[in-house]
Structure 1
Amino acid sequence: MIPGNFHYHRPESVDDAVAILAKYGDEARAVAGGHSLIPMMKLRMADLAHVVDLQAIGDLKGITVDSSTVTIGAMVTQHELIASEPLAQAAPIIREASLQIADPQVRYVGTIGGNVANGDPGNDMPALMQCLDATFVLTGPNGTRDVAAREFYEAAYFTAREDDELLVAIRFPATQGGYAYEKQKRKIGDYATAAAAVLIEKDGSSCSAASVAMTNLSDVPVYCQGAIDALIGSTLDASALDAAVAAMQEAIDPQADNRGPVEFKRHVAGIMLRRAIERAASRA
Structure 2
Amino acid sequence: MIPAPFDYIAPSTVAEAVSALEEAGEDAKVLAGGQSLLPVLRMRMADPGVVVDLGGVTALRGVREEGGSLVIGSMTTHHDVMRDPLVHHHAKLLAQTARTVADPQVRHRGTFGGALVHADPAGDLAAPTLALDAEMVLAGPSGARVVRASEFFVDYFTTALDPAEVLVEVRFPMFTGWSAHYEKFNRVAQAWSVVGVAAAVRVEAGAIAEARVGLTNMGSTPVRALAVEQALLGRPATPEAIRHAARHATEGTSPVSDAGADIDYREHLAQVLTGRAVTAAAGV
Name the TM-score class by shorter chain: over 0.9
* Mapped contact 2:131–2:213 kept (Cα < 8 A): yes
Whole-Å separation in 2 of the counterparts to 1:140 and 1:164: 6
Letter in 2 for 1:11: P
Show the counterpart of 1:71.
71
Structure 2 residue aligned with 1:259: 260
Structure 2 portions without partners, runs of 5+: none
- Aligned ranges 1:107-146 → 2 under 5 Å: 107-146=107-146
Contact kept in structure 1, 2:248 and 2:271, CA below 8 Å: no
Aligned partners of 2:193, 2:215: CA distance in 1, in Å? 10
**Which amino acid counterpart does residue 90 of structure 2 have in structure 1?**
A
Structure 1 partner of 2:224: 223
For the pair 1:86 / 2:104, whether they are aligned, the reply is no
Q: CA deviation at 1:250?
A: 2.0
CA displacement at 1:65 relative to structure 2: 2.6
RMSD: 1.5
1:11-50 Cα offsets, whole Å, 9 max, x none, are 1110010001111110011110011111112222211000
Q: How does 1:37-48 map to 2 (within 5 A)?
A: 37-48=37-48
- TM-superposed CA distance for 1:205, in Å, is 2.2
Of 77-86 and 162-171, deviating more is 77-86
AA paired with 1:2? I
Deviation at 1:2, TM superposition (A): 1.7
The C-alpha deviation readout for 1:67-86, integer Å capped at 9, x for no partner, is: 74211110000111122123
Q: Give the Cα separation in 2 of the matches to 1:226 and 1:188.
A: 31
The aligned residue for residue 282 of structure 1 is 283
Equivalent residue number for residue 208 of structure 1: 209
Say whether 1:181 aligns with 2:153. no
Q: Check whether the contact 2:203–2:237 (CA below 8 A) recurs between aligned residues.
A: no
- In 2, the alpha carbon distance for the partners of 1:125 and 1:213 equals 10
2-structure distance, mates of 1:159, 1:81: 22
Aligned mates of 2:43, 2:66 — CA distance in 1: 43
C-alpha distance in structure 1 between counterparts of 2:95 and 2:240, whole Å? 30
Q: Residue 65 of structure 1 contacts residue 90 of structure 1 at CA under 8 Å; is this kept in 2?
A: no
Alpha-carbon contact 2:92-2:179 (below 8 Å) kept = no
Partner of 1:164: 164
CA distance in 2, matches of 1:140, 1:66: 22
How far residue 238 of structure 1 moved from its aligned partner, in angstroms, is: 5.3
Alignment correspondent of 2:245: 244
Question: What is the aligned partner in structure 2 of residue 25 from structure 1?
Answer: 25
Q: Which residue of 2 aligns with 1:191?
A: 192
1:223 Cα deviation (Å)? 0.7
Asked if the contact 1:73–1:170 (Cα under 8 Å) also holds between the matched residues in 2, the reply is yes
How far off is 1:239 after superposition?
5.7
- Conservation of the 8 A alpha-carbon contact between 2:92 and 2:178: no
Distance 1:218 1:271 in 2: 17
Q: Distance in 2 between matches of 1:121 and 1:99?
A: 18
Please give the TM-score of this superposition, normalised by the length of structure 2. Answer: 0.95
Contact in 2 for aligned 1:25/1:164 (Cα 8 Å): yes
Separation in 1 of the partners of 2:133 and 2:160? Answer: 16
Query: Structure 1: any 5+ residue segments left out of the alignment?
Result: none
Deviation at 1:241, TM superposition (A): 2.9
Show the counterpart of 2:5: 5
Superposed CA offset, 1:176-219 (max 9, x none): 32211111111121111111111111231222111110001111
- Please tell me whether residue 268 in structure 1 is matched to residue 269 in structure 2: yes
Identity value in percent? 33
Aligned length: 283
SS at 1:164 equivalent:
coil
**What is the match of residue 50 of structure 1?**
50
3-state SS in 2 of match to 1:71:
strand
Counterpart residue number, 2:153: 153
The alpha-carbon deviation at position 4 of structure 1 amounts to: 1.0
In the superposition, the TM-score normalised over structure 1's length comes to: 0.95
The one-letter code of the counterpart of 1:250 is: E
**Counterparts of 2:195 and 2:119, CA distance in 1:** 17
